[in-house]
Chains A and B, each alone.
Chain A
Amino acid sequence: MERLEYEFDGGAPVAPRNRPTLTGVLGSGNLEVLVEPADLGGRVRVEVQTAAVGFGAIWQAVLSDVFARWQVGDIRVSINDAGATPAVVALRLDQALSDHTGGGA
């Protein structure tokens, strides 16, 4: 088990009234993503709890790519991961951000 934390310069803040959303399921090879509004001065904070140890650089790359595409801010993203591949992670994050913001990048 490994705990990783990242921060990204956000884009436009997501409306703070958005309810927290949970996307995905913590099944084998999968992950769940909890997105909550947070007062972070426009930034995005990501916390990852993962069963697979030693993939910090890959998480950094996948997350950077996702938050370059999604210009969102003032959100806290919490991830529980059971060994998902980078492709599954990217897909689930897109889905989670779409669920949270009500669709559209």
Chain B
Amino acid sequence: MTSWLESTARERVAGLLDAGSFTEFVPPEARLTSPHLAQLNQPAAFDDGVAVGRGMLNDEPVLIAAQEGAFMGGAVGEVHGAKITGLLERALAERIPVLLLLESGGVRLHEANAGLIAVSEIMRAILALRGAGVPVIVLNGGRVGVFGGMGIATCLCDLLIMSEDARLGLSGPEVIETTMGVEEFDAADRALVWRVTGGKNRAIMGEAVLVADDIAAFRAAIRLDPVPLDVEAEHALLGARLDRFGGMEDALDIWADLGIENPARVPLLDTDAFHAAIRGKTA
């Protein structure tokens, strides 16, 4: 077993794809670094924090991008974002499925405008792939989780695979606490943070497939088939979720309302026991 959480972006790519099949586009030696960091006294990484390329998954061609959470929290800047957009556009031209190994706090503040625009370009490119029936799969198992604009982009994709340790949200808990006060969100309460943003709640909400923190488990959960997008059906589903759960105080109340037995124990369950506990009881 190899922990996804403990691995670097490049180790995840190597562990996920068929052995030795990864070929990188604009690799580190191309030195496509961010020109915006040096003037702010920040070191720039050779790959601007994301590796993009092609490879094989069970002998099927895939395009792949992997964000490095240890470099500036996986935040999106101009070059970083353009690499992902270019990869998605390449996937559209070549009609090859895309794996997005995301770990990102959102937009990189040091190049905030460029990052925000880049995220919207990524979103447009994902939507174009959805429209064309080319699948985009997100794998989220890093320490940073996926927040901000990349959190929105994640929810545009065909499939989201998450580990329990990973998080998915829009505003980070710290940002909500700072802006709205500790009564709104106590970011120091780790159990609360995970009940809101963690993989288990996302799986119960029907947004994610939960897997163990193991690269092989992520690999086994990948399905390279497009998921048809029915916006009317999704609208009804999200409307029902909002009406039923939007006013509830805590995820525990939602889990109980869904009929999950002993909700307080859900965070303690291992992956198999969790799947058994929530079967037929997701939002």
**A residues near B, CB below 8 A?**
1, 20, 22, 25-28, 30, 32, 34, 36, 49-51, 78, 80-82
Contacts and interface: CB of A to CB of B under 8 A. Distances in A.
Nearest to A51: B43
Contacts of B9: 25
20 contacts: A1-B38, A1-B42, A20-B29, A22-B27, A25-B45, A25-B68, A26-B43, A26-B45, A26-B70, A26-B71, A27-B70, A28-B70, A34-B29, A36-B29, A49-B44, A51-B42, A78-B46, A80-B43, A80-B44, A81-B43
B71 A25 contact: yes
Contacts of B38: 1
Nearest to A24: B8
A25 B70 contact: yes
A78 B10 CA distance: 18
A26 B29 CA distance: 15
Interface string B25-36: 001110000000
B43 A34 contact: no
Nearest to B28: A22
Contacts of B42: 1, 51
B28 A34 contact: yes
B29 to A, nearest CB: 4
A92 to B, nearest CB: 12
A25 B103 CA distance: 14
B179 interface: no
B192 to A, nearest CB: 26
Contacts of A78: 46
Contacts of B27: 20, 22
Interface string B6-20: 001110000000000
Contacts of A80: 43-46
A66 B41 CA distance: 28
Given A32-B46, A51-B43, A27 B71 contact: yes
B45 to A, nearest CB: 4
A82 B46 CA distance: 13
A38 to B, nearest CB: 11
Nearest to A22: B28
Given A30-B70, A34-B29, A50 B46 contact: no
Contacts of B45: 25-26, 32, 80
B43 A22 contact: no
A31 to B, nearest CB: 9
Nearest to B69: A27
B213 interface: no
Nearest to B46: A34
Nearest to B38: A1
B33 to A, nearest CB: 8
